[in-house]
Chain A
Amino acid sequence: MSDNPAFDTIKSEIDKNDVVLFMKGTPLFPQCGFSNLVVQVLTHLEVPFEGVNVLDDDDVRQGIKDFSNWPTIPQLYVKGEFVGGCDIIKEMFEEGELHAYLADKGVPVRGMATA
């Protein structure tokens, strides 16, 4: 794929966690309005997720843009699949698609019966 060393870090986060949000700041203290919006949506849907603060590591901050071929942050991954950034997550949430998408992927989400 590439010899970019940040890709290993990114790949390992995506492999390790079903839902990963690459964001500015942390889920508790987002440092960007767009990252905050996605955190609020995931929190509202009661989705467990891992937040990766790209401000902690310049290589990951640039690396995730190259990895996804997507020049902006935040970026949401579910089960290894790139879902989108803030605009897409907001649209999917508003149109009721995000809940269905997450449930379909087998991710625990608000209102879903647990086995």
Chain B
Amino acid sequence: MAGTVEAAIRQKLNAAFSPQSIEIVNESDSHSGHAGHDGSGESHFRVYLVSDKFAGQNRVARQRAIYDVLADELAGPIHAFSVTARTPDEIG
């Protein structure tokens, strides 16, 4: 069952990037007892996003665009966040 933070991430990324593919992995439980693990179960995420909106953007621009969309979550509940951003053409 996805938590509220994960649901917000999914909703915002879907709205901003209309992704062909989106995968959100909640890795919070594998960090229990570690700094930044706040017991919420929603502090560590990994995101894979495939969208043609990334075409013509370098890695920094893509990740910055994702960070901008998730600014509230990154400033609040999220402690660790990994991103892989590809265009459909780059998926081989």
Chain A: residues with CB nearer than 8 A to chain B? Answer: 31-32, 34, 69-72, 82-88, 91-92
Instruction: Indicate if the CB atoms of A71 and B75 lie closer than 8 Å.
Output: yes
**Does B91 reach chain A (CB closer than 8 Å)?**
no
- Output the least CB separation between A31 and chain B (Å): 7
Given contact pairs A70-B64, A87-B63, A87-B84, A31 touches B74 in the complex (Cβ within 8 A): no
Interface majority SS (helix, strand, loop, mixed), chain B: helix
Q: Name the residue of chain B whose CB is nearest to the CB of A92.
A: B59
**Does B80 reach chain A (CB closer than 8 Å)?**
yes
Q: Which B residues touch A85, using CB under 8 A?
A: 63
Instruction: Indicate if the CB atoms of A72 and B59 lie closer than 8 Å.
Output: no
B: number of interface residues (CB 8 Å): 14
The 5 closest A-B pairs by CB, nearest first: A88-B59, A71-B74, A87-B83, A71-B67, A87-B82
Bound: A72/B79 CA distance, A: 9
- Output the least CB separation between A69 and chain B (Å): 7
If A31-B35, A34-B80 are given as contacts, then 11 extra A-B residue pairs at C-beta distance below 8 Å, sorted by A number, are A34-B82, A71-B67, A71-B75, A72-B81, A82-B60, A84-B60, A87-B59, A87-B63, A87-B82, A88-B59, A91-B59
Q: Which B residues touch A82, using CB under 8 A?
A: 60
Q: Which B residues touch A88, using CB under 8 A?
A: 59-60, 63
- Output the least CB separation between A80 and chain B (Å): 14
Q: Which A residues touch B67, using CB under 8 A?
A: 70-72
Instruction: Indicate if the CB atoms of A69 and B74 lie closer than 8 Å.
Output: no
Q: Name the residue of chain A whose CB is nearest to the CB of B31.
A: A33
